[in-house]
Amino acid sequence: MIIGRIEHEAAEARGLAPWAARSAETRGRAHPQPAHDLRTEFQRDRDRILHSRPFRRLEYKTQVFVNGTADHYRTRLTHTIEVAAVARTIARCLGANEDLAEAIALAHDVGHSPFGHSGEAALDELMRDWGGFDHNDQSCRALELIELQYPGFAGLNLTWEVRAGLRKHRAASGERLDGHPIGPQPMVEAQIADIADDVTYHAHDVDDALEAGLIDEADLQELEIWRRAEARARAQGAGEPDDRRRRLAVRNLLDIQVEDVIRTSARRLAEEQPGSAAEVMSAPRRMVECSDELRAMIAPLHAFLFQRVYFHPMVARANEESVRMMRRLFMHYLERPDTMGRTARARIESEGLWRTVCDYIAGMTDRYALEEYQRFGLDAGRAG
C-alpha cells in the first residue's frame, strides 16, 4: 500500500487544527500544474526550494561570522536548517501544517546577499535611488523571477501560501497576491517560521560568539535568560563550567524560548479559537508569540548581541572589507554589464541595469563575489 497525496490530504483534514493551512485547499500556483500522485502541494514546494540553486548557495554565505573563517560557525545554510527544525517542532505542537512552515523556513533567507547584514546594508545604499534592497523582497525575487526551472515561465511556481508567507513583513500593508490579501496577519505557518528564525539565531549567535572568543560566559551572566539556561544545564547534571556545560546551556537557551513560544501561542489559540487559516489572517494580532516575560528577557540579549557581537571590531573589520569590495564589484558591472552571466544580462531589458546588477551580486556566495573581484583585477585598483 502506498500512502500518497490523497491519503496525506485526508490526514491533514483529520489531524490538523482548524487554524492550519491545508494543502488540498491551497490557492494554487500562478501557473497551474497537475497535482502530484505522492506529495502534497506544500511538500512539493518544500522540495522545490530544497533542490533550488539559491538554496544550495546558502552554504557559502555569511550568517554573522565571515564564511570560511572557521569550521563550526553557522553559515546561512546551517542557520536555515536549524530554523526549519524549530519551525517544524512549533508547527507540530500547535497543530499547524509542518510542511508549509518548513517550506517557508527553508526559503526565508535565500534572498540574503553575500557578507551578512553589512552586505545587505551596502546593497541597500547602492540601490537608494532604485528602490533599495531588502533580503525579504529578494527571497521572493530569487524564487519567483530569477530562477529558471520550468519551460514557459520564470521562478519555481510556488503555491500562494508559500509566496504569501515570504511576504510576512508586508502582511499589514493591505498588499494582495493573485487577488487575495496577504494580511493583515500572516498565516500561522508564516508566523511560526518568523519566530523560529528569531529564537534560533538568539541561541546560535551566542554559541558562535562564545566559540569565536568574542564573549565569555562571565559576560553572559548579566543576562537573566542565560542565567536560567545555565541553571537548567546544572540541573541536568552539568558540573563545573566547561565546554559541555556551555553547550548544554546554549541548548537550553533555545529550548526555553521554543517552549515559551509553544505554550504562549497554544494559550492564545485556545482563547481566540480561530476557525480557519483565513480567520488567523484577519485577526487583530498575531497568534504565534512569546510571553511578555520572555520578551523582557530577550530584549537585553538582543541588545547584548548587537553591542558585543555584531559590531565587535573583529566582526566589523571583516565586514567593512567585504562592503568595500562589494561596492567596487557593483560599479564594475555597471560599467561592464557584458561581464555578467548570460541569464543576468537577459534581464537588463525588463529589470533595468541597476536592479539586474543588484540581483546578480545579491545571488552570489561570499567566495564567488571574492573570485569575481579578483578576476577583474579590482583588488589591484585597475578597473575601479
Contacting residues toward Mg ion, per CB under 5 A? 109, 197
Decide whether 109 or 230 has the Cβ nearer to Mg ion: 109
Closest CA to 294 of 378, 202, 368, 208: 202
Query: Which residue's entry shows cell 531588502?
Result: 134
In this structure, which amino acid lies at residue 149? Answer: Q
Least Cβ distance, residue 171 to Mg ion (angstroms): 17
Closest CA to 306 of 205, 198, 210: 205
Decide whether 5 or 108 has the Cβ nearer to Mg ion: 108
Least Cβ distance, residue 227 to Mg ion (angstroms): 26
Least Cβ distance, residue 372 to Mg ion (angstroms): 25
d(CA 198, CA 77): 15
Closest CA to 204 of 167, 160, 151, 247: 247
Least Cβ distance, residue 104 to Mg ion (angstroms): 11
Q: Distance of alpha carbon 206 from its chain centroid, rounded?
A: 18
Residue 148 three-state SS: strand
Least Cβ distance, residue 83 to Mg ion (angstroms): 6
Decide whether 166 or 256 has the Cβ nearer to Mg ion: 166
Decide whether 41 or 189 has the Cβ nearer to Mg ion: 189
Q: Is 281 exposed, middle or buried (0-12, 13-18, 19+ CB in 10 A)?
A: buried
DSSP conformation class of 170: G
Decide whether 109 or 372 has the Cβ nearer to Mg ion: 109
Decide whether 45 or 197 has the Cβ nearer to Mg ion: 197
Least Cβ distance, residue 58 to Mg ion (angstroms): 10
Please calculate the CA angle 43-48-54 and round it to the nearest 5 degrees: 140
Residue 341 three-state SS: coil
